[in-house]
Amino acid sequence: MSGDIHIRKEGRAGRITLTRPRALNALSYDMAMAIEAALDDWRADEDVALVVIDAEGDRAFCAGGDIQQLYDTGRAGDFAYGRRFWADEYRLNAKIARYPKPYVALMQGFVMGGGVGVSCHGSHRVVCESTQIAMPECGIGLVPDVGGSLLLARAPGRMGEYLGTTATRMGPDDSIYCGFSDFYVPQLKWSDMGAALVESGDPGVIATHAEAPPEGVLRARQAEVDAHFGGEGLQDILNALRATDSDFARDTLKAMARNSPLSMACAVEMVHRLRGPSADIARALGLEYRFTYRAMEQGDLLEGIRAAIIDKDRKPQWKHGLDSLPGVAVSQMLRPLGKDALTLETEETQ
């Protein structure tokens, strides 16, 4: 695992660097636990004024979680490994969101799934010209998780439902607009900015390097998104799109046709439940865990991973069709877990 992540202190900063560029810095269980241990160590360390997380390589900050072992254990009928994986990963996501010191994430290239979880909950989120952020989980039979459901719920208008069900990628301007990042800094400036962060321990230096990002596409798409994604459930959204003869509607339907209907329906419901001032990271992670706890045994996850990652045939046989999803299916996946509910350790116990 030492070859997968580099954790150290430099100057006034705690530094975390993902070092699996050939694997697009996919986040393994051991990597996630190493990040958590470092954050716990640095919480009361007066030498550490802020945390900086970055990654090697140009293609990706982190393109997602390392799901091979999830698949192998799930196929063998062992659902306990996946449930422990998600519970521990979600605990890390909550710690990042609540961390008492500035947490700076430098996100180049692909930032997806688990990569969102270790970056987009930070206090200072920096993107560059190559950044592409997305929540593509519905494509493998999962739902936007690692706290991503909360970010989607806080996006403008109905953008959360749109991003969650289509896996649309956000460039730098789009990610700032939708609340997944804060600053655009061209990558040529990252070295100087990083040196200033390490030396000063002051996240305020980011703003002095930031620029206005190149114009994205989602601001102009907001009205169409709101018009089609305002329905109560997935079927309402599909009906609205099918009733419209436009490039947007056709492209959107094509994107959604690739994804698990059960996952998309649950994603829409989750965004709805989390929209509003009362929702926080703990509530979002708890709701996500209800789905992921059941995802292999009752959902489409194993088939989704098989089609996308294992066999790569891109022809998943989902449990339900787009128009034949039983109304009870969503409530079954999102019903409370009782004694198995996610429990996040309180900050005071760290």
When pLDDT is averaged across residues 266-294 and rounded to a whole number, the result is 96
Structural domains counted in the chain: 1
Confidence (pLDDT) at 345: 73
Confidence (pLDDT) at 2: 62
Of the candidates 270, 306, 275, the residue with the CA atom closest to the CA atom of residue 289 = 270
Instruction: Round to whole Å and give the CA distance between 130 and 319.
Output: 36
Q: What average pLDDT does the chain have? A: 96
321 dihedral zone (left: phi>0; alpha: psi -120 to 50; beta): beta
Is residue 61's pLDDT more than 80? yes
When pLDDT is averaged across residues 310-334 and rounded to a whole number, the result is 95
Confidence (pLDDT) at 68: 87
Report DSSP letters for 153-167, one per residue. Answer: HTSSTTHHHHHHHH-
Tell me the three state secondary structure of residue 178. Answer: coil
Is residue 196's pLDDT more than 70? yes
Domain of residue 189, CATH code: 3.90.226.10
Q: Could you list the residue range(s) of the whole structural domain that residue 132 is in?
A: 5-349
Percent of the chain that is helix, strand, coil (3-state, to 5): 50, 10, 40
Q: What is the pLDDT of residues 247-268, one digit of tens each?
A: 999 999 999 999 999 999 999 9
- Residues of the chain above pLDDT 70, percent: 98
Confidence (pLDDT) at 347: 44
- Residues of the chain above pLDDT 90, percent: 95
Q: What is the pLDDT of residues 114-155, one digit of tens each?
A: 999 999 999 999 999 999 999 999 999 999 999 999 999 999
Instruction: Round to whole Å and give the CA distance between 43 and 252.
Output: 44
Largest CA distance in the chain: 60
- Dihedral sign from CA coordinates of 38, 41, 45, 50: positive
Confidence (pLDDT) at 288: 98
The tally of CA atoms less than 13 A away on the side-chain side of residue 67 is 25
Is residue 101's pLDDT more than 80? yes
Is residue 320's pLDDT more than 80? yes
When pLDDT is averaged across residues 296-321 and rounded to a whole number, the result is 95
Is residue 53's pLDDT more than 70? yes
Q: 211: which 2 tokens?
A: 């620029």
pTM of the model as a whole: 0.96
Of the candidates 101, 151, 123, the residue with the CA atom closest to the CA atom of residue 288 = 151
